[in-house]
Structure 1
């Protein structure tokens, strides 16, 4: 290989490195626009309602306990009986908890950005089994019980869309604002009528909850047996949390999912005891499941993925030019290499800007079409042939089509990318398998 050819390869390598500068700038712009979008979505959530987490219900029974203790007087050494009163609360988890919900999604716009909100229509029911003497094994007479209440944790109460009414053992009761208990933070509670704490009883409950939120909905499975069924018109659910649904169906028109857990799987009785007695609520607050309504692959993520293949595109195009030079004895100036590389880099800027206003597939098609048309016309002049320019344009169009397939595939992107690179390398090797590289620099 002669010296001029080696210099040409070096210049091409330097051009590729220089073209990484605009690509890095465009990549940074993608991150900035994504951060701006996320800030707008967070602002929309603050103005309406955020992601919702539903915990409960819990049956809470406040009490006062009298403690008697013999003490000795410091000065007279006389013994006396001291009585002190402690306040506390008993907590009871549902024996059975059921939630049946249908979720409808909608989009809210602010400028060019859109946030996905949902409206969840939930029917919640179940029952508690109150043990005799509230399960107290000590002297029951030392306890004085205050009115019990049912507490439901709702992470953002601004999303409640209906007047909540509790159906409790055949009686309709009104909910009041606030969970009235530190374990559940924000939410609602319903004061209950007098309970039969001496003999114990079964307590049935049911209520309807219409809830608005953004991004995701999660449920904490507090029941000894928990059954949750959710359906929605959202076709791209992402199931989140500690437990996956036991059955699920996902289609282009939406999804349906069913969760079922028990105390054996959740160990919520112990988690609740740790939270109450040791003030360690990490396990109690972390064992939840639900669904996320965020688009799994949005336009910014797809654009960022596309930029990761930019170096491959530029290298393949320059390799095609180089093959034309060595096989057809055509001279392509480094400036022409650079202009073609800039056109390939600007495709990603066009894609980013268009995808903020158009569906990603349309934006991709428009950006790819104008770039292929520009390069086809330009290369027809550079290669001194309309046919050669058309062949290059068709090759670029095929590469853009393959790249779109890579961006759309969530699970097979690596496999498709590997096969693409292998196929292109095999094509170059087959085209140059009889080329005498040492003879390129010798006179004819």
Structure 2
């Protein structure tokens, strides 16, 4: 009986201390905020898990439709003979003699002029709740080759095997090709086949297509010869071209509304088309990049010089949900602060359990947001989740505060806070600036409202 009486007295003392002491209320609020960070962290992990699942599904869709496109070519490939002498000892004659061995190597010559025009028609592919962007790219290329120069390696004309010269195209995404690969050189067509023998460490990302042997009349030994070809690709994520021409002009046009141009070279010009898409142009000279117009022995991997366009969703629902969840600490903290100021200024008692219920309702906003956004747009999900939580907390506040004055203020404050966070989420370039200004204004309001609080109450 005495122990029960002691516990009752202790509970009454804590309740009285919590009601009368500002320090006690602040300590309890701080502990509750830290406690609510646990489910908030679990929600962020859930968002990451769902995003990883989305990435897995998107990669599977892209793999079946067609992967990213990186391409450069055509390249003139000419074999030539080199000779190597080695000394050998004949045991029978006891004499040393020289043996001359012929080794065939290859020289690669890039076009003098290269013009590439691409028209990419995009569409979205969806599986369950996950969506990705894919495209069909119609690529037209033209240009010309000038006479190959073997003088750099002091190779005599008699050692050049002109009759076995070919054209080479380096590219990714062979499975996405939807047209036969043919290049018209000097007015004659040449078909291509996959060169599996070149799949080695020098080609970690690109496959090689090689033509049949060129006619001697089509090899530009005395004057420039023009070429052109057309390809149709099913692709995803991005399309890029390596500027191997002495002068390279690249044009990419598409109906995609959110392009991101990538590569080491900026666009020469860019405009928005009538259908809301884009048209981007690059002009790159051989003096703009650090590789020559010809290579001997082996073709290097030049993917780091590629230019092109990413076909991306600027912010999908998981990225936006994750950014929203990162502001969870701010939402919970500011909401508790509003209740704390109301409790302190109006002398209305709010129990720690009631703070906890309000905090859990704020955390539930994010689970609603994730689940609804998987079946609708992020904007609709944000509106539904936000309105549901604001109405719930407003009605619950009415039961605590006994009138409509403070609950309506709380509902308005939460509406403004969620609207402010939504605006920040949608911004990319100005998110930090707007967020900093908003927080500064909130701090000013809190300082103004709390100026008359007697902080000496313990």
CA displacement, residues 367-411 of structure 1 (integer Å, 9 cap, x when unaligned): 111111111111111111123212211211111111110000111
Asked whether the equivalents of residues 108 and 115 of structure 1 are also in contact (C-alpha less than 8 Å), the reply is yes
Which shifted more, 241-250 or 41-50? 241-250
Report the count of equivalent residues: 435
- Residue 233 (str. 1) matches residue 250 (str. 2): no
Q: CA deviation at 1:168?
A: 1.1
1:373 counterpart (391, 406, 411): 391
Partners of 2:120 and 2:158 in 1: CA distance: 49
2:365 counterpart (347, 350, 353): 347
Partners of 2:280 and 2:261 in 1: CA distance: 9
Partners of 1:199 and 1:90 in 2: CA distance: 14
Asked whether the equivalents of residues 151 and 181 of structure 1 are also in contact (C-alpha less than 8 Å), the reply is no
Q: CA deviation at 1:82?
A: 3.2
1:293 counterpart (300, 311, 328): 311
* Secondary structure of 1:344's aligned partner: helix
Q: CA deviation at 1:225?
A: 1.0
CA displacement, residues 3-22 of structure 1 (integer Å, 9 cap, x when unaligned): 63322211111100100011
Asked whether the equivalents of residues 157 and 187 of structure 1 are also in contact (C-alpha less than 8 Å), the reply is no
Q: CA deviation at 1:214?
A: 0.9
Q: How does 1:253-272 map to 2 (within 5 A)?
A: 253-269=276-292
Distance 1:372 1:199, change over 3 A: closer
Map of 2:347 onto structure 1: 329
Q: Which ranges in structure 2 are unaligned for 5 or more consecutive residues?
A: 1-16
Partners of 2:244 and 2:353 in 1: CA distance: 68
Asked whether the equivalents of residues 240 and 307 of structure 2 are also in contact (C-alpha less than 8 Å), the reply is yes
Partners of 1:364 and 1:136 in 2: CA distance: 66
Asked whether the equivalents of residues 228 and 259 of structure 1 are also in contact (C-alpha less than 8 Å), the reply is yes
Q: CA deviation at 1:436?
A: 3.0
Distance 1:172 1:197, change over 3 A: closer
Q: CA deviation at 1:205?
A: 0.7
* Secondary structure of 2:251's aligned partner: strand
Partners of 1:152 and 1:179 in 2: CA distance: 13
- Residue 204 (str. 1) matches residue 226 (str. 2): yes
Q: CA deviation at 1:236?
A: 1.1
- Residue 113 (str. 1) matches residue 130 (str. 2): yes
Partners of 2:367 and 2:305 in 1: CA distance: 43
- Residue 281 (str. 1) matches residue 304 (str. 2): no
Map of 2:6 onto structure 1: none
CA displacement, residues 48-85 of structure 1 (integer Å, 9 cap, x when unaligned): 21111112211111234455678775664667563311
Q: How does 1:90-101 map to 2 (within 5 A)?
A: 90-101=107-118
CA displacement, residues 145-169 of structure 1 (integer Å, 9 cap, x when unaligned): 4421111122011111123332211
Q: How does 1:112-261 map to 2 (within 5 A)?
A: 112-131=129-148, 137-178=154-195, 181=198, 185-191=206-212, 192-195=214-217, 199-250=221-272, 253-261=276-284
Partners of 2:228 and 2:220 in 1: CA distance: 24
CA displacement, residues 224-270 of structure 1 (integer Å, 9 cap, x when unaligned): 11110111111111112222212222478111111111111112217
Q: CA deviation at 1:126?
A: 0.7
Partners of 1:197 and 1:168 in 2: CA distance: 9
Which shifted more, 345-354 or 174-183? 174-183
- Residue 318 (str. 1) matches residue 336 (str. 2): yes
* Secondary structure of 1:432's aligned partner: helix
TM-score under structure 2 length normalisation = 0.88
RMSD of the TM alignment (CA)?
A: 2.6
Map of 2:455 onto structure 1: 437
Q: Which ranges in structure 1 are unaligned for 5 or more consecutive residues?
A: none
